[in-house]
Amino acid sequence: MKVSKAQAAENRQGILDAASRLYRERGLTGVGVADITRDAGLTHGGLYRHFASKDALVQEACARAFDWSIAPLDGATPNTTIGERIKSYLSPQHRDSPGTGCPAAALAVDAARAGSELSEVFAQGIERNIGRFAQLLTDSSAPIPPEDRARAMQVLATMVGGLVLARATAAARPALSDEILTTLQAQLIGLLGEAPHQGLEG
């Protein structure tokens, strides 16, 4: 039976959503085409009607993952502070939910091993995140000064690295994992001149 254009677009979207989440949960090598199509509620053969190859799907799914933004888990508002964003990023909820979280923390190592095409996808996504975060630091629509761009890189790199370490230690040493999160929350919020919140949940 012929599928309508609207249904085809919906199927394609479903594949991308499933792939984007599963890749972040399990890594690029831990997910097969069958896993993705099953999660999207489609047949295995249907994927190649939408994507020329698995590599093409990986690149587009990773690009889609960078639509994720650094914001509190309950949603950002115009008054959301940098400290609240840092607290949300370095939280147990984000640590324990890689499939719906930051693609850099979930997939950067995979991307580094995957070759130049996927590296370019990540470079573009990370560049966008640096720009967005630097804009939040300046709180202005004016061009971003080099010192604010450098500070944004420093904060983002610390957040991503901290989340990776917290995830790596969570199963065996949960107290250490929580300590990494709380310590970096306080350090980064202090660096940016905002009073740190009390604890992970406070």
Q: Is the pLDDT of residue 196 over 60?
A: no
Q: Is the pLDDT of residue 198 over 70?
A: no
CB 153 within 8 A of CB 131: no
Residues 82-104 pLDDT 10s: 888 899 999 999 999 999 999 99
Query: Structural domain boundaries of the chain?
Result: 5-65, 82-191
pLDDT for position 20: 96
* Topology alike, domains 5-65 and 82-191: no
Which amino acid, one-letter code, is at 35? D
Name the CATH topology of 5-65. Arc Repressor Mutant, subunit A (1.10.10)
Give, as one character, the DSSP assignment of residue 194: -
pTM for this entry:
0.85
Q: Is the pLDDT of residue 185 over 90?
A: yes
Of 8-17, 102-111, 187-196, which range is least confident? Answer: 187-196
What secondary structure does DSSP assign to 136-155, as a single string?
HHHTSSSPPPHHHHHHHHHH
pLDDT for position 25: 97
Residue of 132 and 80 predicted with greater confidence: 132
* 82-191 has CATH 1.10.357.10 classification: yes
Q: What is the mean pLDDT of the chain?
A: 87
Quickly list H helices, the chain: 5-26, 33-40, 54-65, 82-89, 92-95, 103-113, 116-138, 146-170, 174-191
Give the contacts of 65 (CB within 8 A, at least 6 positions apart): 20, 23, 24, 103, 106, 107, 125
